Structure 1
Amino acid sequence: MTYSELVNQWSDELSIYPKTESETLIHWLLEHHLGLKRVDLIKFLNRETLPKALIDDFERLKTGEPIQYILGKAPFYGREFQVSSSTLIPRNETEELVHLILKENKKVGLTILDIGTGTGCIPITLDLELDQAQVFGMDISDEALEVAKRNNQSLKGGVHFFHGDILTETPEIPPLDILVSNPPYVPQKDLAEMHQNVVQFEPHLALFVPDSDPIIFYRMIAKKGLSLLKNTGRIYFEIYERASKEICFELERQGYADMEVHQDLNGKERIISAIKP
C-alpha cells in the first residue's frame, strides 16, 4: 500500500472529521510514530511496515480522542508542551492572548500570575519571552500542576506553580503587574453544541460553569485582582465569545478602567483587557 492509498483509506475511516482535517491528523500520527517527514514517508511506506503502536493510536483517533492526548504533546507559541487528560489542549486563541500580553508589556521585571494554569503554557511562555519576569501559575487540579511543572522543567522555565482555588482563596504573592486567566467559561446548557472530542475527552473541571452564574470565575478573579494588582496593573481574560458584554459590565462595576475587547483571527470576541485604576 502506498502512502497516498493509506492516507485515503484512513481518512475514509476517520469520518468523524472533515476530509482535510482527517488527512492532517493522519500525517501527524504517521510522522510521530515513524520519525519521518511526509516526503520520506511517501518513498518508504507500505502497510506491512506499520508498527502496532501506530495502528493502536489510529484506532484511538477514530473514537474522537484528540491527537494531542494520544501523542501526549501539543505545540504552543513555537514550543512543545506536554498534555494529559487533566489539562486542556493549548489552542490558537490562547496563543493570541499571550501575544497580546507580550505586545503590550515590554517592561523588564514584571510580576505575573496565571490563574487556572493547566499545562502552564501561558505563564511558561511569558516567563521565557519576557526579560527577568517573576511569574506564578495557580491551579485547583494537582494533576494539572504536575503536568505544568514537567513542562516548566523540560522547557527550562522559571515559573513558580502552586495549588489554589481562586473562588475561595486569595494567593499570597508579591503585587502584580499582570493578572491573566483562561478560566472555565462554557455554560452547561451549551454542552450539546460542542464537538464530541472536547466533551468526551477534555477535563470538564476546566471547561464548564453553572448556567446560574456563567461568569463566576471572571467576577471572582477580578475581585481578587483589586487586591493582587498594583495600581495601573493589567488584567487579561480569555473569554467566551457570547459573554463579552456581561464580563465588561462586571469589570466596570468593580472599578476597572480602559476595558478593551479583542477579536481573535476568526473575528470572534475572545479576549478582554482592563487596567486597575
Structure 2
Amino acid sequence: MNTMKIKQYRDLFIEMLSPIHGEGEAESFFYLILEAKHQLKRIDLALRPDLDFSDAEILVWNTLVDQLKLEIPVQYLLGTTSFYGLDFKVNSSVLIPRPETEELVEWIIESQKSIAESQKLRILDIGTGSGCIAISLAKNIPDASVHAIDVSEKALATAKKNAETNKVDVNFIIQNILQTEDLGQQFDVIVSNPPYVRNLEKQEIKKNVLDNEPHLALFVEDNDALIFYRKIAELAHKNLVPNGQLFFEINQYLGKETVALLAEMNFKNIELRKDIYGNDRMIKATV
C-alpha cells in the first residue's frame, strides 16, 4: 500500500487551493479537515513529521479538494463548525455561524450577568437557524429559559440536534415572524440576527456563500431592507418586560437607519456597536 507524508500532502493541498482561496485560507482548511477527519492538530504534525496518509485517505482528501475548488464551504463539507467554544452541526438549510455573531452573544451575556444572578431570565431568539445564539446563551446564562423561533422546519431540525449535542434545553418553535401578531408571553431579552442583505449587495457576497447558504436566511428586498427589524421591534414593544432588552445583528450599511427606526419606535438607550472588522454590526435597545 502506498503512503504519502502528511506534511508533503499539506503542501500539495495548499498549492491546489491557493489560486482560489489564497494561501492562508487554504492552510486553515487543511488543519480544520485534519482535526475533523484524523483528530490531529498542527502541533501533532510538527512533533511527528513522519505521519503518513494512506492511498484511501488521499482519495478522501482529493474529493474534498475538488469540492473546495467549487467553493463549497468547508463547514458544510465537514458538517460541523465551532461557535462560542461549542460544536454545531451545519448543513445547507442553515447559515454558517459567523465570528461577528459570537460578539453579539458575548454582549448579551455581559449585559445580563447582574440580572441573571437574581432572577431566571426569559430569552427569545428569532430566526435561530443552527441555534447557535440560543444554545450559546442557554449554555452560558445559568437557569435561563430560552426559546427560539424559525420559519424553516429543516433549520429547526438541525437546531434541535445541536441543543442535544450541547446538552441544553431550548424550546424551539416553527413560526413565520412576519405573520406573528403577538409572541404569547413576556421576555427579558429578545435577540435576532434576521435576513438583512439587500439584493443590491449580492455582488459583494462571496460565491461560496451565494451558491450554498440558504437565501431565505440571507436576503431582503432592496425597497424594504428593515422589514424584519420593524416587525421584531413592534413585537418587542408588546412582549418585552419593562426595561427588557432587544439585541440585533444588523446590515453594516444600515446602522444609522436601524438606530433611527428604533428611536422612532420609542426605544431607549440605543447603542450601536462595531464588530472585530470595524463594521457597524450590532444594536442593543431597551423598551
1:152 corresponding residue in structure 2: 163
- Shift, 1:177, TM fit: 0.5
Q: Distance in 1 between matches of 2:22 and 2:231?
A: 39
1:73 corresponding residue in structure 2: 80
The answer to whether the aligner puts 1:118 opposite 2:118 as a matched pair is: no
- Out of 40, 47, 55, the residue aligned to residue 36 of structure 1 is 40
Q: Distance in 1 between matches of 2:23 and 2:231?
A: 42
**Structure 1: runs of 5 or more not aligned:** none
Q: Distance in 1 between matches of 2:108 and 2:20?
A: 36
How high is the TM-score relative to the length of structure 1? 0.95
1:24 corresponding residue in structure 2: 28
- Shift, 1:55, TM fit: 2.6
Q: How many pairs were matched up?
A: 276
The equivalences for 1:1-277 within 5 A come to 1-14=4-17, 15-41=19-45, 42-46=49-53, 48=55, 50-106=57-113, 107-108=115-116, 109-276=120-287
1:251 counterpart SS class: helix
Percent identical: 38
How high is the TM-score relative to the length of structure 2? 0.92
- Shift, 1:51, TM fit: 4.9
Alpha carbons of structure 1 residues 164 and 46: separation in structure 2 relative to 1, 3 Å: closer
RMSD value, Cα = 1.5
Contact preservation (8 Å) 1:164, 1:171: no
2:224 counterpart SS class: coil
Contact preservation (8 Å) 2:131, 2:162: yes
- Shift, 1:70, TM fit: 0.5
Moved more, 216-225 or 50-59: 50-59
> C-alpha offsets along residues 118-144 of structure 1, whole Å, 9 cap, x if unaligned?
010101111111121111000000000
2:266 counterpart SS class: coil
Structure 1 residue runs of 4+, over 4 Å off?
none
**Structure 2: runs of 5 or more not aligned:** none
1:64 counterpart SS class: coil
Moved more, 150-159 or 46-55: 46-55
Contact preservation (8 Å) 2:182, 2:238: no
Question: Which amino acid is 1:43 matched to?
Answer: D
Moved more, 39-48 or 252-261: 39-48
Alpha carbons of structure 1 residues 171 and 141: separation in structure 2 relative to 1, 3 Å: farther
